[in-house]
Amino acid sequence: MKGLRAVLPRAVRKRITFGFGTALLLIALGFGLTLFSYNQYRKASVRIEHSQQVTNRLGRILSLITDVETGERGYLASSGDGIYLTAFEDALPQFSPELDQIRSLVADNPQQIRNLDSLTKRIDTKIAMASQQIDAVKNKLPISIARTYMMLGKARMDRVRELLKKMTEIEQERFDLYSRAAEDSFRNTLIIIFTLSLLTFVTLIVSYNLLENELNTRQKTEDQLRAYEDELQDKIQLLEISNEELERFAFVASHDMQEPLRKIQSFGYLLRDRHEIALTADGIMYLNKILQSAERMSKMIKDLLNFSRISSKKEPFRSVRLADVVQGVLSDQELKINAANGTFHIDRLATIEAVQSQMDHLFSNLISNALKFTKPDQPPVITIQGVSVNGDDYEELVPGKKYYKITIADNGIGFNEKYIDHIFKIFQRLHGKSSYEGTGIGLAICKRIVNNHKGLITAQSQPNVGTTFIIVLPEKQNQSVHDNATTHETSTYTIG
């Protein structure tokens, strides 16, 4: 059954288990009912044998009383020939044991006990009458007295026979009753065995068909999955080819495309520096727009390269101190922070398993955003905090796995939260190019970095109140759901 658990859906396993369980229950029920029916049959057979023994004993009594009657009559008819007394005398001592045996056999039948009491008295009377008749012959009494004894003895004999017949008929009725009960038990046993065997066979057939159908369905599914796998392999090969072409494009973009762009910038700056006096006001304005566009084009190419390299360049996950990452970003952007008169409140962040360069990109883009989208009349205040969370808190994450949640909150211009999904798409902007510089790729890069780390990123914001970006990353990339080991630093410091 362990093999079935591995290959069958839970609902199908339940049905098959129910089917085989029902079959086993029917077998057990059939076994129990068969034992019960057999026990009833055995009891009926015992009662039948019991009635036969009683009938045989009654027949033995009839035979003995007949010997008494025969011996008596022969002795009278032969006028006292002692040879006829042999059967008489042999029969007399056998009555008492036979009657005792019958009494023990019919002890559970009050009617037969009463009949046996009457039979005992009648036999005693018959034997006493026979003894008196024999004594009359021995004593040479008149023939008339002997005949009188003979007539009385016959009457006593008839009464004994009548009672023996009655008792035998009662036992015969009991014999017939128990015989029918035994036949019924035997017949019921056959019916039970046949019915339950049929039900068990049908149940096993149904369960087998269910199992066979499920296995056939699973085989078809596996065949389809193999076909999909082959198709997927083909698409993966096409994707690899596409990635190679993309990498070649990235190489061309980083060298060949930027080369003429650098020349445009170089000659533009030379033209502005050496011949600015000869240019009209319109010429200077046009030249500045060319230089600005070239600068924006250069930045866009670099951002595109960064975006493509995140998924194509496989870097190992290592222990990364997020506090060091943030400190490095702040050092790189020190001039911008000082120019904006920005203030940072930062927790001592944890150490997690991540790609160092991608963490640099992630925090650099988010901090740059916080410094960029500020209110004109209010210096930026940015708070960076971190806390351990469980994957159960988020539907998108793995339940039971440990994650580290980072929040980057600012007091900037904010935005309407209905655009949350919009802001993480490439080249998507909520503000015009003239209002805020940028290529519209920064948050898309952040989204790809977080996805590459199997985490999630979202934001909470209100217009003119500020924005809080929420990043949730695994503390360990290959972490067991029971592994809670992570290094945390809890003190807080302020950069202003």
Average pLDDT across each block of 10 residues of the chain; the chain has 496 residues. List them in order: 53 68 74 72 75 84 81 71 75 84 83 84 81 73 64 77 84 80 76 78 77 79 84 82 68 67 79 80 82 74 65 74 91 86 88 88 87 83 91 85 91 78 66 53 83 88 86 80 43 40
- Does this model's pTM top 0.75? My answer is no
Phi (first) and psi of residue 320, to 5 degrees:
-125, 125
Count Cα atoms within 13 angstroms, Cβ side, for 198: 6
pLDDT of residue 78: 67
pLDDT of residue 403: 92
CATH topology (fold) of 2-214: de novo design (two linked rop proteins) (1.20.1440)
pLDDT of residue 482: 43
CATH number of this structure's domain 318-495, picked from the four choices 3.30.565.10, 1.10.1040.10, 3.40.190.10, 3.40.50.300: 3.30.565.10
pLDDT of residue 404: 93
Phi (first) and psi of residue 495, to 5 degrees:
-115, 125
Task: List, in order, residues 6 or more apart from 102 with CB less than 8 Å away.
Answer: 54, 57, 58, 61, 116
* DSSP structure class, residue 40: H
Residue 387, classed as helix, strand or coil, is: strand
Tell me the sheet residues that pair with 408. Answer: 384, 469
Q: Looking at this protein, which amino acid is placed at residue 328?
A: G
pLDDT of residue 142: 65
pLDDT of residue 440: 64
Task: List, in order, residues 6 or more apart from 215 with CB less than 8 Å away.
Answer: 7
Q: Residue ranges per domain, the chain? A: 2-214, 318-495
